[in-house]
A and B are shown apart, each in its own frame.
Chain A
C-alpha cells in the first residue's frame, strides 16, 4: 500500500487525476484593476458562459485558484495584489490581461504603474490585447488548462523558490513595505 503511493508510476497517475480536477475547476479571483474588469462580466455571463469550463467566481482569495490582473496595475494596487496573491492557497495561477500587464502598454511612461507584472508575481498566462475580448480571455483560460494538465503551470512553486528575488523587486517599487510576514 505504502509502496504504491511512493511508486513513481502511480504518483504520476495521482497527479494526472489531481491536475484534471484542477484544470476543470478554476475559481477566479477577479482583481478588477483597469479597463479589463469590464470584460469579466460578459465572459462569465450568458453570452460567453465561462462556467462551462468550470470557471467560477470566488469571493475570497482563500477559495480562489486563479488571480486575474485585469489591466494596468498602479504601485498602490500592486501592494494589495501581492497580499491577495499570498493569501491564496497552492496551487495558484495568475493571468495577466492586456498589454499593460505585459509591458506597460499605453502607460509605458507613467510614473505610477508597473511595467512588467511578472517581476512582482509569477504569471502563468498573459492574454494579449488592449483589452482582450471575452473570446481571447476564454482562449487564455483554455491555454491555462492545457498548462495545468501538462503540469507546467508552476508559477506558485517558482514564487516560493525565488521569493527573495520577488521580494526585492516588490520592495523596490513599494517604498513603505508594511506587510505582514508569511511563514511559507
Chain B
C-alpha cells in the first residue's frame, strides 16, 4: 500500500477515532492521542517512502500525492513536534470539555499539513489547504472566550482572502497550462509571458502569505495565536505557519528566480524585512506574554521570508534552517507560556512575577528558546542568523540587512521583556503556591531545548537534510560541514571553537567563583534589595512591569504613531463590517461556508474551461 496514504489515514482516521475515544473516557483518548502522535511521527521518519507517487483520478481531475525532499523537511518538523505536543496536551487540556472535538480537529489539521506537503498538484494542495484552514479556524473559536468569535472571524476572513486568491491562481494555471501538476507547471513556466508569471505569482503569494503572516496580511496572527489553547498554538505558530513558508519558498524560488524575475523575489524579501522590523516593534510594547510571542512569530517569519526572497544559495539555506528552527523554539516557547498559564493562571506581565524559583525547568527551556530566538551564539539561532546576514552581505543586499539587524537588535528587547516579565523580578505572595508544571509538559520542552543547544555547536546534523532539500529547489552542489559555516566570499567561522571558548571560560570561572563564594554565601530573598534602607513591608512589591520600554517608545514614537494603524484598523474594521454584512446572507454555519468555497471552485472551473 502507498505509504503516503497510510500516513494520511493514520492522522485522519486517528482523528475520527480520537473523537469517540474521548467520548468514552479522557484516559482512553489521551492514550490514543499519544499513540497516534508517535505512530504518525515514527511512520513518517522511519517508514515513509519518499519516491512513491500516487495518482487518484477523480471526476476528470488527477489528484497526485508525492513527497519531495523540500517538503520532507517541513514534514520532519511536524513529525518532531507532533508527539511532543501530544504528550504536552495531556496535562494541559485537563479539565476542558469537548476534548474529542478538539483533538479531532487537531489531528485533522496535522493531516491537512501533511496533505499540503504531499500534494503533487495544485488542486490537492488546495483541498488540504482548506482542510487545514477549517480545522484550525474551529480550534481558534474552540475556547468560547469573549473575543474568540471576533478573532476567529478575523482569521477566517484573511484565510478566505488567501484561499480565493490561491484558487484564482489555480484556475488561471488550469486554464493556461492545461495541467495542475506542480512540477509540470514550474517546468513550462519560462515559456509563459511575464504578466502571467507575475499575476499567478502574486496571487499565490497572497494565498501563502496569509498563513506565513507577511506584513499586510498578518492582522489575524497575533490575535489567533494568543486566543488558541497554547498546545495548539505551538503547532499553529510552529508548524502551520510553515505551510505558508513552504508555499512561498516554492513560488519565490521556482517561479521568480528560475524564470528570471528576481526583482519580484527581492520585493518579497522587502516585505519580509519590513514585517520583521514592525512586528518586532509591536512585540516589545505588548502587555501579555502570549501576544508578545505571537508578534514575535510574525517577526521571525519575516526573517524567513526575507531569506527565501533573496534567493541565493546561502540565503535559501538559511531561510529553510530558520524555518525549521523557528518551528522548534517557538513551539517550545508557546508550550512554556502554556505551562505558566496553567500553573499561575495568567500570562499578563502586570500580574506575573518571579516564577523562576517555582518553575525552574520551564524557565530553563524558555531561556534556551529565547536565546535561540535572539540569535545569540553559541546556540543554534545564531547559525541561522549568521547565514542569513552573510548571504545578504555577500550578495550586496546591504539595505535589507540593516533592516533585519534593526529587527534583531530590537528583538533582544522583547526577549528580555518576556523572560523578565514572566520569570524574573520580585516575588509575590500570590504566586507562592505555584509549582513546577507536570513532567508531561516539561519533558517535551526540555527535549526541544536540548536539541536546540546541540544544534548550535553541531548544526551539520540538520544541514544534511536541508542540503538534500535544496536540490529540489534547483540549488545543486550545496556543501556543508558539521560545525564550520562558510559564506560566499570564503570566510568561515567554526562554531566548535567559539562554543568551546565560551564554555571553558564560563565553567572555569563558575568553579572558581562558586568555590570562593560558597562558604560565606548568604541566601537572600527578592525583598532584601537596595531600597535606600527602607524595609519593604509584606504587601509592597517593587516589580517593574508597567511602561517597560518607555524611553524606547518615546525615541521611536514615530514608528508607533505613523506606522500603526489608524488607517489599518479602519481597513480591518471595514473588512469585518463587510464580512458581518455578508454573514447575514448565510446561516453562519461553518458547513455552509465550506459549501460556498466548493461551489465557487466549481463555478470558476466551469468558467475557466468555457473561456478556453
Contact = CB atoms under 8 A, between A and B. Distances in A.
Interface of A: 31, 59-62, 77, 79-81, 83-84, 87, 90, 178-180, 182-184
A170 to B, nearest CB: 13
Contact of B520 (A62, A83, A84, A90): A90
Nearest to A85: B533
Contact of B535 (A31, A83, A184): A83
Contact of A180 (B520, B527, B533): B527
Contact of A179 (B522, B523, B535): B535
A180 B535 contact: yes
Given A183-B523, A184-B522, A81 B528 contact: no
B391 to A, nearest CB: 45
B522 A182 contact: yes
B543 to A, nearest CB: 17
A180 B528 contact: yes
A183 B522 contact: yes
B537 A178 contact: yes
Contacts of A84: 532-533
A180 B525 contact: yes
Nearest to A84: B533
A184 B535 CA distance: 18
Nearest to A63: B530
B542 to A, nearest CB: 14
Contacts of A80: 532-535
Given A180-B527, A180-B528, A83 B522 contact: no
Contacts of A59: 530
* Dominant secondary structure at the A interface: loop
A179 B533 CA distance: 11
Interface of B: 520, 522-523, 525, 527-528, 530, 532-535, 537
Contacts, number: 32
B530 A60 contact: yes
B533 to A, nearest CB: 3
A61 B528 CA distance: 11
Contacts of B525: 180
15 contacts: A59-B530, A61-B530, A62-B530, A79-B533, A80-B535, A83-B534, A84-B532, A84-B533, A87-B528, A87-B530, A178-B535, A179-B535, A180-B528, A182-B522, A183-B523
Given A80-B535, A178-B537, A180-B527, 19 more contacts: A59-B530, A61-B530, A62-B530, A77-B533, A79-B535, A80-B532, A80-B533, A80-B534, A81-B533, A83-B534, A83-B535, A84-B532, A87-B530, A179-B535, A180-B525, A180-B528, A180-B535, A182-B522, A183-B523
Contacts of B533: 31, 77, 79-81, 83-84
A4 B9 CA distance: 75
Contacts of B537: 178
Nearest to A86: B528
B402 to A, nearest CB: 37
A83 B537 CA distance: 13
In the A-B complex, the 7 residue pairs with the closest CB atoms? A80-B533, A60-B530, A84-B533, A83-B533, A83-B535, A179-B535, A180-B528
B508 to A, nearest CB: 18
Nearest to A182: B522
Contacts of A184: 522
Nearest to B520: A90
Nearest to B534: A80
A27 to B, nearest CB: 14
A88 B528 CA distance: 11
